[in-house]
Amino acid sequence: MDGELNSGIGGVSRREFIQFCTGVAATLGLSPALGVRIAEAATAPGRPPVVWLSAQECTGCTESLLRSTHPTLEHLILEAISLDYNETLQAAAGQQAEAARHASMEANRGNYVLVVDGSIPTKDGGIYCKVANRTMQEHVMEAAAGAAAIIAIGSCASWGGIPSSGPNPTGAVGVQKILTDKTVLNIPGCPPNPYNFLATVLHFITFGKLPELDHKNRPKFAYSRLIHENCERRPHFDAGRFALEFGDEGHRQGWCLYKIGCKGPETYANCPTILFGDVGPGAWPVGTGHPCFGCTEEGVGFTKPIHALAELKTVSPPTAFARIAEDKGQGITPGAAALAAGLGGAAIGAGAVFASRLGKAEQAETGEHAESGKSD
Ligand code: SF4
Ligand code: SF4
């Protein structure tokens, strides 16, 4: 273990930092025992630096990072990840800042992590977002050429986000659209959760590779579950208790927000489990009484109106099903059908009896076919 980690870092004790890294390991779905390894990698002198470019954005993604407080921002920015260039946070500006970025990219060629927030304008040669008289398209392509990993943070960088919603006057697209020959890891959200970003960077620094991705290039540790699966209001959804308008009795009682437009049933993200702002239970949009608007989900966030009902991708399964086959295909017994009728209602029972009869009919038919097969 290196000396810096032994003595504590940036005003944060060694114990606190290892606790933080153990939490990162848990977020990544890894053994807590790997917390020490992550802590060592994060404090190693040769760890990959991060170069952060901002395109068409609102600075919300950087603001989100500023709200990470365990440990303190200074520690996270300056110690856990080595942020060599970020226009919002750095003191340098103008030619000095550009020179510093190019020096860092040259010195760390093939080793730095490129982070982009904001969408990339492509219309009219990309002139709608320029820095140092060059388009963002040029900056991103140049920086990507020497990067070890590329992360698009926020919904705008992931697929275009708000700037790409109709009528999209700048031809805004996500980073992957202009880097077609590279893998761009997406961390969508408006804002994205800072811990998903930090955990992704620390995974890369520790293991030398990106975490496992889903079909939209989002890290699975953060985007493999629907909001609806982990929402604390889910029991009310299952029980049919819904807020029907803001401020009504159901809303005040904390009932499900589905009928006032919650997109949790079709949005993949870990918001209900990882929370925001480090202020404790309930600190996420649905927890405070606002429907999820699907900001992490392309085709839902900024596309589907808030009043539109979400597509239900999962529904609660019944606790009992009628068995349609027992004892190796002998068919459901009349007793089981009666039990199903009692448990699940007459419709299920009737369906089970029908299935039972169908099974017997099929059995007879199959037997006939088998016989005829033999005779052939
Ligand atoms: Fe929670 Fe929304 Fe699902 Fe209701 S619809 S349980 S508020 S995620
Ligand atoms: Fe985005 Fe929904 Fe999470 Fe809110 S709850 S941050 S809208 S995914």
Q: Is the CB of 122 under 6 A from ligand 2?
A: no
Q: Global pTM?
A: 0.78
Sort residue 5 into left (φ over 0), alpha (ψ -120 to 50) or beta.
Answer: alpha
Run of H or E residues at 98: helix 94-107
Determine which of 62-76, 221-235, 315-329 has the lowest per-residue pLDDT on average: 315-329
Reported CATH class of domain 225-321:
few secondary structures
Place of tokens 């982070």: 115
Q: How far is the CA of 350 from the centre of ligand 1 (A)?
A: 33
φ/ψ of residue 336, rounded to 5: -65, -40
pLDDT of residue 8: 55
Ligand approaching nearest to the C-alpha of 243: 1
Test site for ligand 2: of 296, 297, 306, most ligand atoms within 8 A of the Cβ: 296
Q: CA–CA separation, 10 vs 16, rounded Å?
A: 11
Token readout for 135 is: 């388009």
Phi first, then psi, for residue 279 (nearest 5°) are -110, 10
Would you say residue 113 has pLDDT above 60? yes
- Side by side, the strands of the sheet bearing 82-86 are 82-86, 49-54, 112-117, 147-153, 184-187
pLDDT at 150: 97
Measured by CA distance, the residue closest to atom 5 of ligand 2 is: 292
pLDDT of residue 20: 80
Cα(111)–Cα(47) distance, rounded to whole angstroms?
9
Question: In degrees, to the nearest 5, what angle opens at C-alpha 186 toward C-alphas 184 and 190?
Answer: 145
* Atom 2 of ligand 2, nearest CA residue: 292
pLDDT one-digit tens code per residue, 338-357 = 334 333 333 333 333 333 33
Q: What's the gap in Å between 267 CA and the centre of ligand 2?
A: 8
> Using a 6 Å cutoff on CB, does residue 269 contact ligand 2?
yes
Both tokens of residue 294? Answer: 């699907």
Please name which of 114, 121, 194, 128 lies closest in space to residue 156, comparing C-alpha atoms: 121
How far does residue 356's CA lie from ligand 1's centre (Å)? 38
User: How close is the Cα of 286 to the center of ligand 2, in Å?
Assistant: 8
**Backbone dihedral angles phi then psi of residue 314, each to the nearest 5 degrees:** -135, 145
What is the reported pLDDT for 339?
Answer: 38
Task: Tell me if 333 sits within 8 A of 323, measured CB to CB.
Answer: no
| Res 110 pLDDT > 50 | yes
pLDDT at 258: 96
What distance lies between CA 373 and its chain's CA centroid?
54
What is the Å distance from ligand 1's center to 279 Cα? 21
pLDDT digits (tens, 9 = 90+) for 129-141: 998 899 999 999 9
Give Cα 77 distance to the centre of its chain: 22
Taking only the tens place, the pLDDT of each residue in 31-80 is: 888 888 888 887 887 778 888 899 998 988 888 777 666 656 556 656 66
**Domain 48-223, CATH homologous superfamily name and number:** NADH:ubiquinone oxidoreductase-like, 20kDa subunit (3.40.50.700)
Pocket test for ligand 2, best of 61, 274, 295 (most atoms within 8 A of CB): 295
- pLDDT value, residue 336: 41
Which is more confidently placed, 306 or 152? 152
Q: What is the largest CA-CA distance in the chain?
A: 90
Least confident of 67-81, 102-116, 230-244: 67-81
Residue 148: closest CA among 102, 113, 105, 98: 113
Backbone angles phi, psi at 206, to 5 degrees: -80, -45
